[in-house]
């Protein structure tokens, strides 16, 4: 019996009923399956177009061990190229970001244009017989097997047969707009800050997916120091958890009685930004805020991109400023994750707002953010516990919101302006949805 056989079936059956074998958060065999069956097939976020605005701009990003150059070529097109030299396999570009018309391999100096095409080989005539011996035509760094862009977000899939990105995003695109399209200008990203945590990558993805339950306790000190106006947990308890296509997320409930503009003002958006938001969003998107009073908070797009929107008080006068952060849980091993954390803001926003919003982000998230510090302590501990032998005997209870018969304690919200299914209050519907997708990938041997 190998692990990929009946043992895996048992693990996945437990996961699907919301009882998670604890070792999945620290198991090298599970991690190997995640590499081969999940990351080899999913759409994975790499970068945002605003990170490479000009021809020649590039960033270097990874999908697990595979390094990619994400570049804007001379024609302005976005290219994603496997960062391995066609000659002897050296990593061609070793810088994290920059601007270059060409990439020259450090080993023997083969040179590629920023569209990936091979242009220069030292001693081409003497070593290869020139163009007759080795024509450069058609030689190119390997392009990503599939690439797609949505609201400037650049995704790739290592599976050339992946469904088109719009089809994959499905209903989650509705929610993605709140974070990444507040005006026709779109968002601009700053960062990323990158750091490594000794935690399994799934824990952060699941936490942002819908763990409203941890906030009042784990982040109690953030509330105690008065970072938020609302009394402890109230805006969360009445908030919604939604499941929509490959994404899941949470919303806060705003005080009742507001209209679209006043709700946005309440969370700190200046009047100058509100008409563009109204024009950029559909009637349904506006209704989620206006009629229901729901404002998006944390979310996760399967597998490893999370988003967060919150609105702390940034000074003693009680100025409230909203911020958006994108974050990626980049697995290093089953016990270590590289976190990439970006600040995102509407590119057309007033400069004063951008400054306030950046301050709000830095207070909460990023390497020194208060939420980040609180969270990571938990995640490291879970990973340590999961790596021992007793964890193989324990199934973690992830059934919040369900009766023992597996029915929702409360029915889904009957009137929720967004697509998908939404529940009000606490529950682990979102984590289970994320884990179901995880299970579906791990079980597929293709
Ligand atoms: S390995 Fe890149 S030029 Fe030889
Ligand atoms: Fe948290």
The domain segmentation of the chain, as residue ranges, is 45-150, 170-443
Dist. CA 80–CA 62, nearest whole Å: 11
Ligand 1 pocket test target in 108, 111, 120 with most atoms within 8 Å of CB: 108
* Residue with CA at minimum distance from ligand 1 atom 4: 108
110 lines ligand 1 (CB under 6 A): yes
379 lines ligand 1 (CB under 6 A): no
* Residue with CA at minimum distance from ligand 1 atom 1: 88
* 121 Cα: distance to centroid of ligand 1 (angstroms): 9
pLDDT of residue 1: 39
Bridge pairing between strands 78-82 and 66-72: antiparallel
How many H-runs (helices) and E-runs (strands) does the chain carry? 16, 20
110 CA: nearest ligand 1 atom: 3
pLDDT of residue 231: 66
Answer whether 53's CB lies under 8 Å from 186's CB.
Answer: no
Ligand 1 pocket test target in 69, 90, 93 with most atoms within 8 Å of CB: 90
121 lines ligand 1 (CB under 6 A): no
Give me the residues of the chain with pLDDT under 50, please: 1
pLDDT of residue 255: 87
Residue with tokens 């070793």: 94
DSSP-assigned letter for residue 367: T
Ligand 1 pocket test target in 67, 91, 107 with most atoms within 8 Å of CB: 107
Ligand nearest to the CA of 122: 1
Could you please state the CATH topology (level 3) that the domain comprising 45-150 is classified under: Rieske Iron-sulfur Protein (2.102.10)
Answer whether 63's CB lies under 8 Å from 363's CB.
Answer: no
Cis peptide bond upstream of 303, omega within 30: yes
Residue with tokens 């697995």: 331
Ligand nearest to the CA of 85: 1
* 372 Cα: distance to centroid of ligand 2 (angstroms): 7
* Residue with CA at minimum distance from ligand 1 atom 3: 108
90 CA: nearest ligand 1 atom: 1
118 lines ligand 1 (CB under 6 A): no
Burial of 80 (0-12, 13-18, 19+ CB in 10 A): buried
229 lines ligand 1 (CB under 6 A): no
* 72 Cα: distance to centroid of ligand 1 (angstroms): 23
- For residue 187, the cross-strand partners are 346
Mean residue pLDDT of the chain comes to 95
pLDDT of residue 33: 97
308 lines ligand 1 (CB under 6 A): no
Distance of CA 369 to the CA centre of its chain: 18
Cis peptide bond upstream of 151, omega within 30: no
* 208 Cα: distance to centroid of ligand 2 (angstroms): 7
Query: For 170-443, CATH number?
Result: 3.90.380.10
pLDDT of residue 2: 55
Contacting residues for 379 by C-beta, under 8 A, at least 6 apart: 197, 199, 200, 203, 204, 207
109 CA: nearest ligand 1 atom: 3
The SS3 call for residue 212 is: helix
pLDDT of residue 256: 85
pLDDT of residue 232: 61
93 lines ligand 1 (CB under 6 A): no
């Amino acid at each position: 019996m190998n692990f990929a056989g009946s043992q895996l079936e048992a693990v996945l059956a437990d996961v699907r009923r919301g009882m998670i074998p604890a070792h999945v958060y620290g198991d090298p065999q599970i991690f190997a399956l995640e590499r081969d069956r999940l990351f080899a097939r999913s759409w994975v976020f790499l970068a945002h177009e605003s990170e490479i605005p000009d021809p020649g701009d590039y960033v270097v990003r990874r999908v697990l061990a595979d390094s990619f150059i994400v570049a804007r070529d001379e024609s302005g097109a976005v290219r994603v190229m496997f960062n391995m030299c066609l000659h002897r396999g050296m990593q061609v570009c070793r810088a994290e970001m920059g601007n270059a018309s060409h990439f020259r391999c450090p080993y023997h100096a083969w040179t590629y244009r920023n569209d990936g095409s091979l242009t220069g080989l030292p001693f081409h005539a003497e070593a290869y017989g020139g163009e007759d011996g080795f024509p450069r035509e058609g030689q190119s760094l390997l392009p990503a097997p599939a690439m797609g862009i949505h609201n400037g977000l650049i995704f790739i899939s290592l599976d050339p047969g992946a469904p088109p990105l719009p089809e994959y995003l499905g209903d989650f695109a509705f929610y993605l707009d709140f974070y990444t399209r507040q005006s026709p200008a779109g968002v601009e990203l700053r960062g990323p800050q990158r750091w490594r945590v000794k935690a399994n990558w799934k824990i952060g993805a699941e936490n942002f997916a819908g763990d409203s339950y941890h906030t009042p306790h784990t982040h109690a000190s953030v509330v105690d120091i008065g970072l938020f106006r609302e009394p402890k947990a109230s805006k969360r308890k009445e908030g919604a958890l939604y499941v929509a296509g490959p994404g899941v997320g949470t919303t806060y409930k705003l005080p009742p009685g507001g209209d679209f503009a006043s709700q946005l003002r309440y969370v700190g958006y200046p009047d100058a930004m509100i008409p563009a938001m109204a024009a950029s969003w559909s009637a349904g998107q506006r209704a989620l805020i206006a009629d229901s009073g729901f404002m998006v908070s944390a979310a996760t797009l399967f597998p490893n991109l999370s988003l967060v929107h919150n609105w702390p008080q940034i000074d003693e006068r009680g100025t409230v400023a909203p911020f958006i952060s994108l974050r990626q849980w980049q697995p290093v091993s089953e016990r270590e994750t590289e976190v990439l954390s970006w600040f995102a803001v509407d590119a057309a926003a007033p400069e004063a707002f951008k400054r306030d919003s950046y301050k709000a982000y830095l207070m909460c998230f990023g390497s020194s953010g208060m939420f980040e510090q609180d969270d990571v302590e938990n995640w490291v501990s879970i990973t340590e516990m999961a790596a021992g032998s007793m964890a193989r005997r324990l199934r973690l209870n992830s059934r919040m919101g369900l009766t023992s018969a597996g029915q929702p304690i409360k029915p889904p919200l009957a009137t929720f302006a967004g697509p998908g299914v939404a529940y009000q209050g606490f529950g682990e519907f979102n984590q289970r949805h994320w884990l179901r997708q995880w299970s579906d990938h791990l079980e597929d041997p293709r």
